[in-house]
Structure 1
């Protein structure tokens, strides 16, 4: 390849890497969580930037700060809850979550400020951390909530996680599918007509139009033949054929249809539409009201101690986003804290450059055991997914071609 020829960009990512002038996110951030394929011609939407070099997420935070009447939004929330509120002892809202800061905040607010009777439901982590289990127990015992803990078939879930890592470099894909389905699925099973998630991921750079809609699109639940679903990058029919499972084993991963939800009048809402969402303030609230504890040490790959700390596999999800998109965990953390006024952009740049490329060694052996891989197999897989426009190989290994810079320098 001539040095003048543009470097190949996998996944349909923009070849020119641009960093937001307000936060630290780059234009390589995908705008949704559906599967990426390891092909340059697989077009994929990424976070939008305006003509001033500012990302969609930062622009929406300006809207949150300046243009939304939050008192009016809260009045809308109360009217919504009044519509579903029960006084006969039954559950009137499902709150999916792990007992982390966001779900603890959501469920506690609904129960103790707004007088609802939530059933909290949890799609179990792959491998609980010690602090994750403590916080899960505190959610029920200190926070005072009923909970259903759903743990999928471990043999199948390990296989799906392994396939997702090998085929997509996305070990969290099966978990994300289950986590998103569990709330509406439990609501449909127990005839609870309201599901309330915390924030909408559109706040962080997914489709910005979704920020102006309080509900999850039911089209997500319109599914094709379950045998044609792809989990871990593989059709379910192929997994059944090759690994000895049956279609019944996949029941937890098959979403209720939009027709089922409509027939039972089930609505899926985001609390972040009605109440101004701030992850750090959710943390403070959860500590004060539900017994939530931060970890005793920062999470590898970032500087924070309280976000997404319940699963040993979680940090490898963020490591794979670093490999595929050049965006690690410190970038995600710093970007939202800049937007929420907790740190400056200069501070965020320093934190990203210090921690973003740190390898999550603490649970590496646990990860290898979970997905059934050796160390050489792990790195061979990882290196296949490095896009040439993001990474270059040097005598010291791999280096990112582009890193965020302090505009004040």
Structure 2
């Protein structure tokens, strides 16, 4: 693997590209976030956001002014926080698609205390468990259809309630590296949804066609095309405010947000991905398929924001990135979808990228050039 010369992101990451100096497009995008260097004028962006809110309130929607998809994590709490000063009627929508943790339930319960109404949607589990299994077994991603659901369902709610504004979190194409045209957009579209929410087209329509599930059963997993011709506007918060995990943590803690009270697994941060257990398996399978994990994501963000040197980040990645998946996550997942441990382990091995992973003389898997100098 080859790594970005500024951060530690490998060339195996989907949608990542490098310039002639070996700098990844995520690092290139981050440089554009600094107004002092001639980049984004965040004060102007915030004034633009203020104008959007003014226009939204002028529409005098019947029920709510703005919808915010929420997990209960630091980012979604920050999205709600950003709206509180505008005297808006806020509807927060949570999709509970898997195995909520206790700390996740606690943090989600903060949302109505902050000043937003909260709806939690739990999909029909016989179908959803099948979809999780399809994603896990055939695509190496148990969150594949959960990811489309948590992006699509709030849009259906916005249409139903005639809510004029939906405030999403980050544009991942910009923050983490992706298609340049989509990275510069301030709004979600069908094209963005298909590429980033639905993993390049493995969406509800694809699943319906290839797995013979009636599309009417999967409608809420699919982007509602009519929303692009409606009075509802879809925007990314990261377009208008500097996206910074540490700042979001500080804001969320003002409202009572709790971190994980156990040693983190797969990363050095104890405040990210803590609300739901299946996400840990999603992140672990990323390691098997692409040779990097959650610690790399977090270390790269900290390098870009000047919180870690590349050497400090490398040490953390070496310590956490390739950690094995523990029974704390495995046992609940197996019970949830009804799978044996042998079946589960066979899927993991099928997902392992043999171009990246090798076995040593003792039979232990390793990545030969993992973060080599």
Q: Under a length normalisation based on structure 2, what TM-score does the superposition of the two structures give?
A: 0.91
Give me the whole-angstrom Cα distance separating, in 2, the residues matched to 1:284 and 1:89. 34
Task: Call closer, same or farther: CA 1:231–1:212 in 2, change over 3 Å.
Answer: closer
Report the equivalent of 1:9: none
Trace 1:21-36 onto structure 2 (pairs within 5 A).
21-31=5-15
Task: Call closer, same or farther: CA 1:201–1:369 in 2, change over 3 Å.
Answer: same
Could you tell me how far 1:88 is from its partner in structure 2? 7.2
Task: Call closer, same or farther: CA 1:266–1:373 in 2, change over 3 Å.
Answer: same
Say whether residues 1:404 and 2:371 are aligned partners. yes
Deviations 1:80-111 (A, max 9, x none): 11111156773111111112100100111112
Report the equivalent of 1:82: 54
Give me the whole-angstrom Cα distance separating, in 1, the residues matched to 2:211 and 2:284. 26
SS in 2 for 1:121: strand
Give me the whole-angstrom Cα distance separating, in 1, the residues matched to 2:56 and 2:273. 30
SS in 2 for 1:185: helix
Give me the whole-angstrom Cα distance separating, in 1, the residues matched to 2:144 and 2:336. 15
Trace 1:64-213 onto structure 2 (pairs within 5 A).
64-65=33-34, 66=37, 67-85=39-57, 90-112=63-85, 114-141=86-113, 143-202=114-173, 203-213=175-185
Deviating more after overlay: 246-255 vs 269-278: 246-255
Q: Compute the RMSD of aligned alpha carbons.
A: 2.2
SS in 2 for 1:94: strand
Task: Call closer, same or farther: CA 1:109–1:252 in 2, change over 3 Å.
Answer: same
Deviating more after overlay: 339-348 vs 49-58: 339-348
Deviations 1:237-290 (A, max 9, x none): 5545xxxx7544323213211xx11332222100111111101100110111x2
SS in 2 for 1:149: strand
SS in 1 for 2:260: coil
SS in 2 for 1:316: helix
User: For 1:323, which of 288, 295, 308 is the aligned residue?
Assistant: 288
Report the equivalent of 1:376: 342
Q: Under a length normalisation based on structure 1, what TM-score does the superposition of the two structures give?
A: 0.83
Report the equivalent of 1:341: 306
Task: Call closer, same or farther: CA 1:397–1:236 in 2, change over 3 Å.
Answer: same
Task: Call closer, same or farther: CA 1:377–1:232 in 2, change over 3 Å.
Answer: farther
Gap runs ≥5 in structure 1: 1-16, 32-46, 223-228
Could you tell me how far 1:118 is from its partner in structure 2? 1.7
Give me the whole-angstrom Cα distance separating, in 2, the residues matched to 1:234 and 1:358. 33
Report the equivalent of 1:300: 265
SS in 2 for 1:85: helix
Aligned residues: 361
Q: Does the CA-based 8 Å contact 1:195-1:266 persist in structure 2?
A: yes
Report the equivalent of 2:197: none
Q: Does the CA-based 8 Å contact 1:160-1:232 persist in structure 2?
A: no
Report the equivalent of 1:254: 222
